[in-house]
Amino acid sequence: MAKAKTVFFCSHCGYESVKWLGKCPACNEWNTFIEEVVDTGNAKDKNEWTQYNIKNNSTETTKNSKSQLLKDIQGGEEYRILTTDPELNRVLGGGIVAGSIILVAGEPGIGKSTLFLQNVLKLNQIKSLYISGEESASQIKMRADRLSIKNDNFYLLTETSTQAIFKEIKNIQPNLVIVDSIQTMESNLLEASPGSISQIRETAAEFQRFAKETGTPVFLIGHITKEGSIAGPKILEHMVDVVLQFEGDRHYSYRILRTFKNRFGNTSELGIYEMSGAGMRAVTNPSEILITEKDEPLSGSAITASMEGQRPLLVEVQALVTPSVYGTPQRTVSGFDLRRLQLLLAVLEKRGGFQYGSKDVFVNIAGGMKVEDPSIDLAVICALLSSYEDVPIPSSICFAGEVGLNGEIRAVNRIEQRISEAEKLGFEKIIVSKYNRKSFNIKKFSIEIIMLGKVEEVYKYFF
């Protein structure tokens, strides 16, 4: 009987070693190596799945194993499958590219399976195969009934063995494959358990070879760890063409689909969805839902014109400044960087003379959004000043500017798109940096544009 082969893997980055190591030489983490059985000596050929002779059914191109001159290669746009979801099309760079392999990760219960099940069901003209390794066929049928979408070209397979999956793919010849999830798949070529580093790497490699050699797009739905990273080896993210992260707060109905890697489009795009009883609804104008409706003006609130990828968003910033009851003042944020808040408070104390050192400061981004755009600085400053003075800022004014350490209001990019979005939503005034003066033509807009250069000027304008 052949001897079993065991290998040690780093559970943090997937580094492989023939012996146990205390410290991983790749990621420098300690005590992360685990032993896995990768071969018992009875494994078959690594390319066993190719015996199924799966034909290319998504594109007419064939794989060329010979080297070619770059000038002789025919260029052009990739063939894409357009879905009925405009948010997903935007995040993918214009649609699903033939032969691409896409990894989608997110918290459990966030709605990954629901999102892609409803998008696949709406593609009536595309023969699709949904492979589930976590749920039974009756569970998926119940979810499809709740979505109330009919599709005669939708096939469902509940299987975890990749060898059995590729046999079924040969019979069905699908144009699109969804794998839910990659952590439940197992290959007979390895003796390790499903979800182990070696199994995730091998099964993902098999689906990658299938996608590239047949031109069939493949979606891999994945799990994430408690630290928020994608479960499995880091090489999993290198093997795929697109990495998407589906995130959101359980206390809000909104979900965000972010792009972390995209070989066919922009990595700064994102899509916004709203969870409802009928599935995920694409939010085409998120600015309206991210601005809280109020009967009367309240202090500590300011609207900022931020950018998420290529899309302008108007987001409400809320701040609360109160005297500190305890000895150490609190600094609490939601949807904003805590270190950035401490920097802005230091600017207000140094340049404006405001005593925030004895105050509790709370900052919240309305709607459960997480904003990283530096143009939100000016709105945070104004919200803090409004709460400090207990004077409300008119709801018809919005802001777009970055604040520097010297108290100057710095210019931001894509200022024309921000102004156009504010004008479209009915704002009367927008305050921007005077250093943005050369970036746009002020005569193009009917909204009043106020250009300021210092935080002190903003304070004098409002208070």
Return all residues near 16 (Cβ < 8 A) that are at least 6 apart: 7, 8, 9, 10
Which secondary structure element, helix H or strand E, spans residue 207, and what is its range?
helix 197-214
pLDDT at residue 342 is higher than 90: yes
pLDDT at residue 61 is higher than 50: no
* Confidence at residue 92, expressed as pLDDT on a 0 to 100 scale: 92
CA dist 37 → 3, 176, 196 (Å): 11, 33, 10
* Confidence at residue 64, expressed as pLDDT on a 0 to 100 scale: 58
User: How far out from the chain centre does Cα 391 lie?
Assistant: 37
Please report which confidence band the pLDDT of residue 41 belongs to, taking 50, 70 and 90 as the band edges: low
pLDDT at residue 63 is higher than 80: no
pLDDT at residue 13 is higher than 80: no
pLDDT at residue 333 is higher than 70: yes
Please report which confidence band the pLDDT of residue 58 belongs to, taking 50, 70 and 90 as the band edges: very low
pLDDT at residue 49 is higher than 50: no
- In whole angstroms, give the CA distance from residue 116 to residue 221: 9
Average pLDDT of the chain is 86
174 versus 250: which is more confidently predicted? Answer: 174
User: How far out from the chain centre does Cα 453 lie?
Assistant: 34
> Would you call 140 helix, strand, or coil by DSSP?
helix
* Confidence at residue 48, expressed as pLDDT on a 0 to 100 scale: 46
* Confidence at residue 53, expressed as pLDDT on a 0 to 100 scale: 56
Rg (CA), the chain: 26
- In whole angstroms, give the CA distance from residue 379 to residue 303: 6
Which whole number is the average pLDDT over 56-67? 57
446 is known to lie in a ligand binding site: no
Phi, psi (rounded to 5 degrees) for 186: -140, 145
Which whole number is the average pLDDT over 64-76? 79
Q: What is the DSSP string of 358-384?
A: TEEEEEEEGGG-----GGGHHHHHHHH
* Confidence at residue 250, expressed as pLDDT on a 0 to 100 scale: 65
Tell me how far apart the terminal alpha carbons of the chain are, to the nearest angstrom: 85
Please report which confidence band the pLDDT of residue 59 belongs to, taking 50, 70 and 90 as the band edges: very low
- In whole angstroms, give the CA distance from residue 204 to residue 200: 6
110 is known to lie in a ligand binding site: yes
99 is known to lie in a ligand binding site: no
> Whose structure tokens read 């795009």?
269
113 is known to lie in a ligand binding site: yes
* Confidence at residue 298, expressed as pLDDT on a 0 to 100 scale: 85
Phi, psi (rounded to 5 degrees) for 270: -150, 155
Pairing of strands 5-10, 218-222: unpaired
295 versus 410: which is more confidently predicted? Answer: 410
Tokens (6 digits) for 358: 């004895």
- In whole angstroms, give the CA distance from residue 181 to residue 131: 8
Phi-psi map region of 177: left, alpha, beta (phi>0 left; psi -120 to 50 alpha): beta
**pLDDT digits 0-9 by tens, 94-137:** 899 999 999 999 888 888 999 999 999 999 889 999 999 989 99
Contact present, 366 and 316 (Cβ < 8 Å) = yes
Which whole number is the average pLDDT over 292-300? 76
* Confidence at residue 7, expressed as pLDDT on a 0 to 100 scale: 84
Q: Which of 162-166, 188-192, 250-254 has the lowest mean pLDDT?
A: 250-254
Pairing of strands 101-106, 218-222: parallel
- In whole angstroms, give the CA distance from residue 96 to residue 92: 7
- In whole angstroms, give the CA distance from residue 301 to residue 322: 15
**pLDDT digits 0-9 by tens, 376-388:** 999 999 999 999 9
pLDDT at residue 52 is higher than 80: no
Contact present, 140 and 130 (Cβ < 8 Å) = yes
* Confidence at residue 28, expressed as pLDDT on a 0 to 100 scale: 86
Which whole number is the average pLDDT over 343-369? 88
> Would you call 271 helix, strand, or coil by DSSP?
strand
Whole-model pTM above 0.85?
no
Helix segments in 69-188, DSSP class H: 86-91, 112-121, 137-147, 162-172
For residue 255, list its beta bridge partners: 248, 273
Please report which confidence band the pLDDT of residue 60 belongs to, taking 50, 70 and 90 as the band edges: very low
Which secondary structure element, helix H or strand E, spans residue 460, and what is its range?
helix 455-462
Contact present, 407 and 351 (Cβ < 8 Å) = yes
43 versus 328: which is more confidently predicted? Answer: 328
Which whole number is the average pLDDT over 365-384? 89
Which whole number is the average pLDDT over 277-285? 83
* Confidence at residue 34, expressed as pLDDT on a 0 to 100 scale: 84
Among candidate residues 388, 104, 97, the one with its CA nearest the CA of residue 217? 97
* Confidence at residue 375, expressed as pLDDT on a 0 to 100 scale: 93
**pLDDT digits 0-9 by tens, 197-254:** 888 988 999 999 999 999 999 999 998 887 778 887 888 899 999 999 998 766 667 8
* Confidence at residue 229, expressed as pLDDT on a 0 to 100 scale: 81
112 is known to lie in a ligand binding site: yes
426 is known to lie in a ligand binding site: no
Contact present, 381 and 458 (Cβ < 8 Å) = yes
- In whole angstroms, give the CA distance from residue 282 to residue 274: 6
Which whole number is the average pLDDT over 307-321? 88
% of the chain with per-residue pLDDT over 70: 90
% of the chain with per-residue pLDDT over 90: 45
